[in-house]
Amino acid sequence: MESPVNIRTPFSIALLFSIGLFSAHAADRPEFEVATVKPSAPITDGRIRVMLNGGPGTPDPGRLTGENVTLRVLLTKAYGVKSYQVQGSAWMDSERYDVSAKVPVGTTKAQFEVMLQNLIADRFKMTLHREKKDLPAYALILGKGGSKLKPSAPLTPAPEGAQPQAPPQVPNPQRMQMGRDGFPTMPAGMGRGGIAMMMMPGRARLVANGGTVTRLAETLEQQLDRAVIDETGLTGNYDFTLTFEPDSSRGMGIMGPMPVGIGRAMSVGGPGGEGHQPEAEPVANLFTAVQEQLGLKLEPRKSPVEQLIVDHAEKTPIEN
């Protein structure tokens, strides 16, 4: 008895080949094991907690957690760029989302970024392209009188054999003790090595606990929405407080870099806490505050900047 002959037409071979390519592509596409993206709950009490942390290289490498984050912030995390490098619709700074994703064990930082890029593209149906332009920037230089930054006290070495302690977590803004000026009082030791940012109506404050000038420049970039190049020559760690009047047109969509180990968070409050009424003292704009309070100066420059141009994105993410 003759064996049946398996005859494949050119069409069937091409179909099998294309299916094979699709399967290989799907298998190679880095994705989170489980992920949810949904609009954040409306703000009801005038306070908001904004945070985005987790992933490789953080204290929580197996989980990405975001709360009240904008699409612009997600894109900066996914592509490793600054907020001023992202161009798109105005709602990218006003619409807020909660994000949770499980990161596969052994994921590298590069793989993590691609996973987040794919998640954003899928859920927001987003497309983008890159361009490079010469854009306005600032150089951060020493003022005429020199720096007013206070060098931080050196860290006390941990006893030999002691277990490393997890960094303190950002407390809920509603539970933080409020100062007489209406700003939350940062707990002692919070954010060592970084800069915390707090915003109130008409006022903003940066609090550095062993922060670097490089980190300060990055924080100023978020407020000015353009590159800030550190040309101070200051390489130490410093403690300082910078209080200024934020640009009202910026809204609450942009966050500055936050304390090391606790991701990015921003405390925004209304009137002071119980028993405290904020003192309505006038505050200087950012440029004057940097010069008067820190002894530094922001000088206009031009700088080549690569930009991510968002061509299309849906405001409401598709279902999880």
In the sheet where 228-230 sits, what is the strand order? 86-87, 296-312, 127-142, 228-230
**Stated pTM of the model:** 0.64
Question: Residue 47 has which token pair?
Answer: 């306070």
**Residue type (1 letter), 242:** L
Could you report the per-residue pLDDT of 142-151, keeping only the tens digit for each?
A: 999 999 999 9
Range among 118-122, 217-221, 254-258 with highest mean pLDDT value: 118-122
DSSP string, 39-99: EPPPP-SS-EEEEEEESTTSS-TTEEEEEEE-HHHHHHHHHT--GGGEE--GGGGT--EEE
Could you report the per-residue pLDDT of 175-225, keeping only the tens digit for each?
A: 556 666 666 666 555 555 678 877 777 888 888 888 999 999 999 998 898
Largest CA distance in the chain: 101
Task: Give which of 166, 48, 53, 153 is closest to 103, Cα–Cα.
Answer: 53
The CA-to-CA distance between both ends of the chain, in Å, stands at 55
